Amino acid sequence: MVYFAKSDALNRLPKQFFADLVVKTNAAIAKGYDVINLGQGNPDQPTPPHIVKALQDAAVNPLYHKYSPFRGYDFLKEAIATFYKREYDVDLDPKTEVAILFGSKTGLVEIGECLLNSGDTVLMPDPGYPDYLSGFALANLHMEKMPLREENAFLPDYASMPEGVLDKAKLMFLNYPNNPTSATAPADFFEETVKTAEKHNICVLHDFAYGALGFDGEKPRSFLQTPGAKEVGIETYTLSKTYNMAGWRVGFALGNKSVIEAIELFQDHYFVSLFGGIQEASAKALLGPQDCVQELVQRYETRRNAFFDAARKIGWNAAPSKGSFFGWLPVPKGYSSESFFEYVLEKAHVVLAPGVGFGTGGENYVRIGLLSEPDRLTEAVERIGKLHLFD
């Protein structure tokens, strides 16, 4: 057999840090241990029944058995605009300010190829969502890190960044509620972001994947609520977290018309849009009853409270999550994030996500997923407590 070498673009792709952790986790499970996996980020609840029923009904429509319009059905774009007006009081033109994505990850990965050229500079939060790096590699971009520090509420400090870096940057990634730190962003931070982007001619991409998941009565802010935001960037949203539709692969990009046009042109050459039945069900999810979303937020908040209450009892102190379905906690003295993961897996059979997997700024932390019921989360903390690492 002839061996055909991979392209330079594929060879630039970063190593999947968490693949090795999955191997170690599966090895522990294979030995028969009762492993509690808090390292994952996959919603654990099913899609609400009324959305599933909408897909079942739509699937028999012969119209949807043909190719969908390249840029998606107008009814879904109109539903998205209506959703954003209802939830965030943001006005969007569904024809020019909305692009349908195959899950928001697609938009995050393809944006570099849509807007930048080889060697251009992009700003990446550190720690940050690792899949941003895949898009940077494929487009051969130069990355500069924006540190997210606890003392600054895990927000980038633009004032501390070198002017030269900001001047070179053409694209900036943000993500609030944040993965992995679970921090949220206040209005004044987004206002400062718009001013910074205007001054340095930077396109902002705000990844709003966890937009529905805010706690303690605080609704996470959309970047597009900020005056001038549509002038300098876009926001991506996904139905994966809001409606437990991760496997459906439905997301969208919203905002700056020139960026939306670039995304749609790029996708014209890759895809023929989503199955029409999924688009119809997605529109009904956005426009239909939202009780399921409120119940989901309450479920995650109950889980958060159970986990952090248990953590305090063993001396594992950290600020409770403000948003997302994650928690971000420090590792005990004498451990790195990886060595802590390995020790806890071996001794307590609990899986945590090492913070260093999200960037060097994540060292000394671990991420936990609030994707188990309260009793299981509490049991995980109690197992760790028996190791006496926080005494």
Going by C-alpha positions, the residue among 215, 208, 254, 231 that lies closest to residue 90 is 254
Q: Taking residues 36-61, what's their average pLDDT?
A: 94
3 found inside a domain? no
The residue with tokens 């994966």 is: 240
- Domain region containing 122: 49-287
**Domain check: are 217 and 181 in the same one?**
yes
**Domain check: are 250 and 381 in the same one?**
no
State residue 118's pLDDT score: 95
Confidence grade of residue 205 (pLDDT, cut at 50, 70, 90): very high
**Domain check: are 105 and 188 in the same one?**
yes
391 found inside a domain? no
Going by C-alpha positions, the residue among 68, 81, 127 that lies closest to residue 253 is 81
**Domain check: are 26 and 59 in the same one?**
no
**pLDDT higher than threshold 90 for residue 19:** no
**Domain check: are 172 and 237 in the same one?**
yes
**Domain check: are 192 and 67 in the same one?**
yes
Final residue of a structural domain among 267, 287, 307 = 287
Q: What is the pLDDT of residues 274-332, one digit of tens each?
A: 999 999 999 999 999 999 999 999 999 999 999 999 999 999 999 999 999 999 999 99
Confidence grade of residue 391 (pLDDT, cut at 50, 70, 90): confident
**Domain check: are 63 and 194 in the same one?**
yes
**Domain check: are 276 and 347 in the same one?**
no
Q: What is the pLDDT of residues 222-273, one digit of tens each?
A: 999 999 999 999 999 999 999 999 999 999 999 999 999 999 999 999 988 8
**Domain check: are 184 and 263 in the same one?**
yes
Token pair of 192, please?
Answer: 């400062």
**Domain check: are 80 and 39 in the same one?**
no
The residue with tokens 């009081």 is: 89
Q: What is the pLDDT of residues 82-98, one digit of tens each?
A: 999 999 999 999 999 99
Q: Taking residues 36-57, what's their average pLDDT?
A: 94
85 found inside a domain? yes
Final residue of a structural domain among 230, 259, 287 = 287
Check: CB of residue 138 under 8 Å from CB of residue 124.
no
Domain count, the chain: 2
CATH at 82: 3.40.640.10
1 found inside a domain? no
Q: How far apart are CA 35 and CA 16, in angstroms?
A: 22
**Domain check: are 19 and 155 in the same one?**
no
